[in-house]
Amino acid sequence: MTKRITMLLKKLPMIWKLMLGAALLIFMLFATYNFSQYLVLKNWMMKQEQDTLHTMMSQVQAFVQDKTGTVDSFGDNETKSYMRNMLGKNQMIRILNHDGQELLLVSSHFNPEWVRPAADKGQKLLDIRHDEDHILVYRSPFSSGKVQGTIEIASNLETFDHFNKTLLLVMVIGGVLAVCISALSGWAIAKQFLRPIRALAGTIQNVKEKGLQERVAVIENGDELSELIRLFNELMDQLEISFKQQKQFVDDASHELRTPITILEGHLNMLNRWGKKDPDILEESIGASLQEVRRLKGLVQELLTLTGTESLPLPDHIEVVRITPFVVQTVKRMEALHPDFAFELDLPEQGCLVKINPLHFEQILLIILDNAIKYSEDDKRINIRSRAERRMVSIVVQDHGIGIPSEELQYVFDRFYRVDKARSREIGGTGLGLSIARNLVQHYQGDIQMISVENEGTRVDVHFPDQQEG
């Protein structure tokens, strides 16, 4: 049975769980408080009744002890009058001798038969019931002259019980009202609380059906749910951008791969038809095919490199390196490959310190220098300088080539983007180099920027966090 109830509760909607939880919590708190308050009031009122009987007993004993001490004196008018004045409503005073015989009896709206007379040698406080009547009886011995016996004072707690029942009824009704109010309040609060969650769930469903452009309407409550909605929208923005970039990447990669494959297919078909016996066609086709294979190989290699830079592990254990030797070494390699270019270096003697994998740093420099060389024509000077300022290390590469139109600068780090595609195809390259460089720089918490003026030259600024000694 318990397991079944548990399973049923688990299947309830969240709004019902919150409402029932709030109602149950309020009920437990209210019931505990009311029950405690009821017990305290009941005990306090009973103590008041007992104190009243104690006070009456003291006064009756004092009066009896002042009597002459004869049996007849307990039945005179003075004694009866005094005792009646002592009585309250629903009370009785009875005086017995040591044999239990009645010497005096006065009562007010109280039936003496409800309490059987009994002589006691000590004080006793009894809480008894006669049918539906609740009676408090107090017995105490007395001595007056030669007369000894017992004084009985009884009080019907009818008013006390009626007040307790009324108090309990009021508390029960108050508890039921409190539970109802708390249930309604819990429903309203839960509905308000779940509104952003329902909006979020609805948006997720719309994303499944309509696409990544769906967003949750922002609720400016300043609470955790508002923050959750903001983070969800930001995540969807990033996902949408990522999917668009992925689609663009696939489209561009397909386009770049299609061209060399088409050229290869054309030359192979030509060879298959009539070029097997024609040495000139054979040599031309083989040369063109090898060139396209090299292009394909380079393109695939750069695609793998680009993918690798996007999934590099965090550089937690990379050593701090001094970059000047690596810059000098890389420039010497480029001078050997391009002796017609003049490389002007302006580097600090000690060299700046950067936390980076040396191979990655060298790869970044090679990509930037290779682009500077490809797009330089008449003026073949390339300036390279490095500085450390404002806790950042900057490496600047300046060429004096054809430059880049200002409207295209924002796209130069995109995959497969080339400024002048026709001319770039003649020069060579895949349009992936700068994307690889940017990924590597950002991986080491750096930044790369490009400034260019068409027909005047291009400057590439790379910045890394400075790892100063001491």
Average pLDDT for 403-422:
74
Residues 37 and 159 in one domain: yes
Residue 262 is predicted with a pLDDT of 76
List pLDDT tens digits, range 438-456: 888 888 889 999 999 888 8
Residue 312 is predicted with a pLDDT of 55
CATH number at residue 358: 3.30.565.10
Residues 121 and 62 in one domain: yes
**Residue where one domain finishes, among candidates 310, 335, 353:** 310
Residues 84 and 143 in one domain: yes
Q: Where residue 421 falls among pLDDT bands split at 50, 70, 90?
A: very low
Average pLDDT for 289-293:
75
Average pLDDT for 85-103:
87
DSSP letters along 394-412, please? EEEEEE-SS---GGGGGGT
Cβ atoms of 193 and 18 within 8 Å: the answer is yes
Average pLDDT for 26-39:
83
Residue 425 is predicted with a pLDDT of 47
pLDDT at 457 over 60: yes
CATH number at residue 118: 3.30.450
Whether 72 maps to a domain, the answer reads yes
Residue 422 is predicted with a pLDDT of 38
CATH number at residue 278: 1.10.287.130
Whether 42 maps to a domain, the answer reads yes
pLDDT at 426 over 60: no
Pairing label, strands 457-465, 392-399: antiparallel
Question: Which residue did the predictor score with more confidence, 308 or 135?
Answer: 135
Residues 283 and 350 in one domain: no
Coil, strand, or helix at residue 381? strand
Q: Which domain holds residue 366?
A: 320-465
Coil, strand, or helix at residue 99? coil
Alpha carbon distance, N-terminus to C-terminus of the chain: 71
**Residue where one domain finishes, among candidates 310, 337, 353:** 310
Residues 120 and 61 in one domain: yes
Residues 392 and 447 in one domain: yes
Residue 463 is predicted with a pLDDT of 93
Q: Where residue 139 falls among pLDDT bands split at 50, 70, 90?
A: very high
Residues 354 and 430 in one domain: yes
Whether 137 maps to a domain, the answer reads yes
List pLDDT tens digits, range 351-381: 788 888 888 888 888 889 988 888 888 888 9
List pLDDT tens digits, range 7-22: 766 666 666 777 777 7
Q: Where residue 229 falls among pLDDT bands split at 50, 70, 90?
A: confident
Question: Which residue did the predictor score with more confidence, 70 or 373?
Answer: 373
pLDDT at 311 over 60: no
Average pLDDT for 301-326:
67
The residues, any chain, with a CB within 8 Å of residue 287's CB and separated by 6 or more, are none
Average pLDDT for 413-432:
60
Residue 136 is predicted with a pLDDT of 92
Q: What angle do CA 409, 303, 326 make, to 5 degrees?
A: 70
**Of the candidates 46, 61, 60, the residue with the CA atom closest to the CA atom of residue 136:** 46
Residue 182 is predicted with a pLDDT of 77
Residues 274 and 330 in one domain: no
Residues 136 and 267 in one domain: no
Bridge partner list, 320: 355
Average pLDDT for 125-147:
86
Residues 292 and 326 in one domain: no
Mean pLDDT over the full length of the chain: 80
Angle, in degrees to the nearest 10, between helices 158-210 and 224-270: 20
Residues 376 and 292 in one domain: no
Whether 189 maps to a domain, the answer reads no
**Of the candidates 103, 135, 101, the residue with the CA atom closest to the CA atom of residue 119:** 101
- What pTM, to 2 d.p., does this model score? 0.46
* Biggest CA-to-CA distance, the chain: 162
**Residue where one domain finishes, among candidates 288, 310, 332:** 310
Residue 280 token pair: 């000139």
Whether 179 maps to a domain, the answer reads no
Residues 53 and 160 in one domain: yes
If one counts the domains in the chain, the total is 3
Whether 216 maps to a domain, the answer reads no
Residue 453 token pair: 């003026």
Whether 18 maps to a domain, the answer reads no
DSSP letters along 247-313, please? HHHHHHHHHHHHHHHHHHHHHHHHIIIIISS-HHHHHHHHHHHHHHHHHHHHHHHHHHHHHHHHTPP
Whether 217 maps to a domain, the answer reads no
Average pLDDT for 312-341:
79
